[in-house]
Structure 1
Amino acid sequence: MSSTESPDARIVPVVPPGRPSRVSEGEEVRTVALPGVTLAVRSRPPRTPGLPPVLCVHGLGGSSQNWSALMELLAGDAACEALDLPGFGDSPPPDDGDYSVTGFARSVIRYLDASDRGPVHLVGNSLGGAIATRVAAVRPDLVRTLTLISPALPELRPQRTAVPTALLALPGVAPLFARLTKDWSPERRTRDVLALCYGDPGRVTSEGFALAVAEYERRLELPYFWDVMARSARGVVDAYTLGGQHSLWRQAERVLAPTLLVYGMRDQLVSIRMARRAGRTFRDSRLLTLVESGHVAMMEDPDAVARAFRDLVADTATADRSASPRG
């Protein structure tokens, strides 16, 4: 890693939370209190009633804002919601301090059970993809389709640029990062984030960059920022080492929902080579490969992701009608 690179930037996705999180025009954010956890949920009211429900789950260090562009594009096709995982965005840390993939999946399940919106079209990015996979495997009744964008499923040989995430999971490393980087400007950190997460950072407008800088600055003021990042990174590493029926790949084999897999050819965190294994593992899957995208395709090329998602939902609805008994 060169001297100009921020070690902590490698584990912070593109849009950190604001003060509070920025709400785009047409969006709403509400707080939902559940047993042991309080979640902030971002939504965009559908243009017409009765549209299929969608729930989006962000990745490590991200927030529900990561889904704003995609939700806007899908407003005429779906009733979209995106939640802030416990400790991220506008959601406070969970009462039990559990930042494992299973703990996050439990929070998603609690929300879906409480909201009575299921089965939903579940969408996840990175860590959110691992969480969504676990939810779909253990509660198939809650998931109609599954869309995974660069899902954080275990790799035998992780990319070099993903190694700092694992290092953050080690005891004492997060406080060390905090001390070493305390004088780094939000602009420097944000540039590093964009360089890591985007296939082409030049796609980010000057306005978008300024908003990301302001929100990153807000992140660093949160008293639990480093603790949440370290514990969540540890949860990812732990999930990678689980074997048997709790293995994420074993659970992927159990997913019944039609699945859309989205991978970016320029992804520096999840290798494109994992697309082939994922395609073999998820029993009813289709693959979208984006040549110019990196780790956050729903932000880099939301139009392509929206088109593929619409096709998935439409094909699933057609299959449902064909399978239903005729009167």
Structure 2
Amino acid sequence: MPEPIALWPGKRESFAGRSIFVRRDRPPDSFTGDAAQRDRAVYVHGLGGASTNWTDLMGALCADVAGEAPDLPGFGQSPPPDDGAYGLDAQAAVVTDLVEAGGRPVHLLGNSMGGAVAVRVAASSPHLVRSLTLLSPALPDLWPRLIPYQMTGALIPFLGPAVYARMQSRPPEVRLQDTLNTTYFDPSTAHAQRISEALEAERERENHGHAHTATLESLRSLVAEYVRRGAHSLWRQAARVHCPTLLVFGFNDRFVNPLIARRAARTFPRNRVVMMPETGHLPMMEHPVRVSRLVRPFLLEHSGGGRDRRAGRRR
């Protein structure tokens, strides 16, 4: 197993009055082209995640695309939103502002809840998205699955939040191991350095009074999306995503039912579906090299040729 790269540096940035933490990659030392000519790629993490979830995939692709990974409001190192809005619409607005600020359309990648956010952005602002890559996207699916049902139990008034708070009061080492057990097909493959970084982040969460609120309110919003109807529902929006779409599902995902790949294949107008064996909910973390081999040719196939394409120009 190769040694993992260092976490990408980042800083607080403001977009349309919202402050978020954004990590940006840089091309490798061996890169000989004009770094400014790389297509842009924006990576959106899932519920309870952070921009660091994309470190290895960003590293694998940084010679081809300029990666930007935000911490959504209230997650990672981003502060909570001033208005307390953690819904999918608010998260999509943050990502849209980030993309618009860069002045060029992007390759948009999302995992889990971040996949749902990415669908909303691509459907609502098609001129901003060159291609869409969804890894285990949290698209509405009402088939019963144990772990999602346990998560939604945290939303039961009075009892749910109390149970959730008690779970979060366990030692960070125990919480992290539970996360690995539920999101990886084989938790033993996680590199010691990544475990150490995740443990440090888990301990840091204890100093953020908003961390529980961010998770619970985002979960509440995601559950609401599962029963949303009308033109703004996620599946209806998916049908309006006309940019090329790569859908990657883990065959052993315990959160997102891989069987929804069939519906996704019927719904996204221009799609390619890949099922990854022996893979859990976080393909880009569990198998970054395998995922990069899927994503790189897809991005290059739909490359925009650098900075001459402006985000404000509709295709």
Cα–Cα, structure 1 residues 179 and 240, in superposed 2: closer, same or farther, change >3 Å? closer
Aligned partner letter, 2:131 = T
Structure 2: how far apart are the matches of 1:67 and 1:53?
15
Aligned partner letter, 1:43 = R
Structure 2: how far apart are the matches of 1:159 and 1:137?
28
Q: State the 1:106 CA deviation.
A: 0.8
Q: State the 1:215 CA deviation.
A: 1.7
1:269-309 per-residue CA deviation (whole Å, 9 max, x = no partner) reads 00110111111111100012110110000001111211111
TM-score normalised by structure 1 residue count: 0.86
- Deviates further, 199-208 or 297-306: 199-208
Aligned partner letter, 1:93 = P
Alignment correspondent of 1:100? 87
TM-score normalised by structure 2 residue count: 0.89
Alignment correspondent of 1:109? 96
Query: Which of 212, 224, 232 is 1:238 aligned to?
Result: 224
- Deviating runs (4+, > 4 A) in structure 1? none
Alignment correspondent of 1:305? 291
Query: Which of 23, 43, 59 is 1:42 aligned to?
Result: 23
Q: State the 1:178 CA deviation.
A: 5.0
Q: State the 1:63 CA deviation.
A: 0.3
Does the CA contact (< 8 Å) of 1:27 and 1:42 recur in 2?
Answer: yes
Query: Which of 216, 219, 229 is 2:205 aligned to?
Result: 219
Please tell me whether residue 87 in structure 1 is matched to residue 56 in structure 2. no
Does the CA contact (< 8 Å) of 1:119 and 1:144 recur in 2?
Answer: yes
Please tell me whether residue 265 in structure 1 is matched to residue 280 in structure 2. no
Q: State the 1:317 CA deviation.
A: 4.0
Alignment correspondent of 2:61? 74
Aligned length: 295
Cα–Cα, structure 1 residues 182 and 314, in superposed 2: closer, same or farther, change >3 Å? closer
Does the CA contact (< 8 Å) of 2:46 and 2:112 recur in 1?
Answer: yes
1:216-246 per-residue CA deviation (whole Å, 9 max, x = no partner) reads 1111221111111111110101111110101
Structure 1: how far apart are the matches of 2:106 and 2:197?
31
Q: Percent identity?
A: 40
1:194-216 per-residue CA deviation (whole Å, 9 max, x = no partner) reads 00000110101333323322221
Q: State the 1:179 CA deviation.
A: 4.6
Structure 1: how far apart are the matches of 2:72 and 2:159?
23
Structure 2: how far apart are the matches of 1:139 and 1:205?
37
Cα–Cα, structure 1 residues 25 and 276, in superposed 2: closer, same or farther, change >3 Å? same
